[in-house]
Amino acid sequence: MASSSSLLTPQEGVGGEEQSVLQKHVSFFDRNKDGVIYPSETFQGFRAIGSGVFVSIASAAFIHFSLSFKTRPGKFPSPLLPIEVENIKLGKHGSDSGVYDQEGRFVASKFEEIFSKHAHTYPDALTANELKEMLKENRAPRDYQGWVASEAEWKILYKFGKDRDGLLEKDTVRAVYDGTLFHLLEKQHSAHKRSEN
């Protein structure tokens, strides 16, 4: 895994501009790097990290139905459900950890708070129960869409990111925020498929 000091370095976007951490997080799914993510690309991204077909289809559908309209302000809704990477900050939902600010930048103090408040068993890792505790505490009243979105995101992260002991380590969580975890999982999945052949 990449060291935590290298995770949050600037990365250029499609037009050569520096991407926010939130943009880097979603750019893994922009498979052709054109700044627009279509459901087929999200499906491909989930398959690339080892998701099954059903989970990949369901994830792509949920993500694009939730984010397409929000990331295309002033544009007519598209039946192709594209997500514009440049505007991904507009898709931020409530009941989250607050690690991304309103501009999609990484807020280190909020990241540290996840572990200082909820990592009771080990200081740099979350158990499944500690993760549930965090999700429950972050819920804003009557923000049902935010509850569902947060729950889905963290459960997917836990499924793919937990170690052999069922712990979600701090470095893994940090790597998902800027998307580096997705690239690592893709390499591991590719290597595993090659070893089976």
Tens of pLDDT along 109-154?
A: 999 999 999 999 999 999 999 999 999 999 999 999 999 999 999 9
Give the Å distances, CA to CA, from 185 to 7, 49, 79, 157: 15, 5, 30, 11
Q: How far is CA 100 from the centre of its chain?
A: 11
pLDDT (average), residues 84-104: 94
Task: Please tell me whether residue 106 adopts helix, strand or coil conformation.
Answer: strand
* Cβ atoms of 138 and 117 closer than 8 Å: no
Which residues form the domain of 190?
18-196
Name residue, tokens 């895994």.
Answer: 1
Domain annotation covers residue 4:
no
User: Is the residue at 10 inside a domain?
Assistant: no
Inside any domain, residue 139? yes
Contact between 160 and 49 under an 8 Å Cβ cutoff? The reply is: yes
**Assigned domain for 172 exists:** yes
Q: Which residue has the tokens 């750019």?
A: 27
Range of weakest confidence among 57-61, 95-99, 175-179, 193-197: 193-197
Q: How far apart, in whole angstroms, are the C-alpha atoms of residue 144 and residue 80? A: 26
Specify the number of domains making up the chain: 1
In a domain, 1, yes or no: no
Return the pLDDT at 195. 83
- Residue 27 domain-assigned (yes or no): yes
- The structure tokens 């931020």 sit at 92
In a domain, 65, yes or no: yes
Looking at the domain assignment, is residue 99 inside a domain? yes
C-alpha distances out from residue 100 to 48, 52, 79, 126, 142, Å: 25, 28, 29, 19, 21
Distance CA 183, CA 48 (A): 9
Residues 6+ apart with CB under 8 A from 99: 106, 107, 110, 111, 114, 177
- pLDDT at site 1: 34
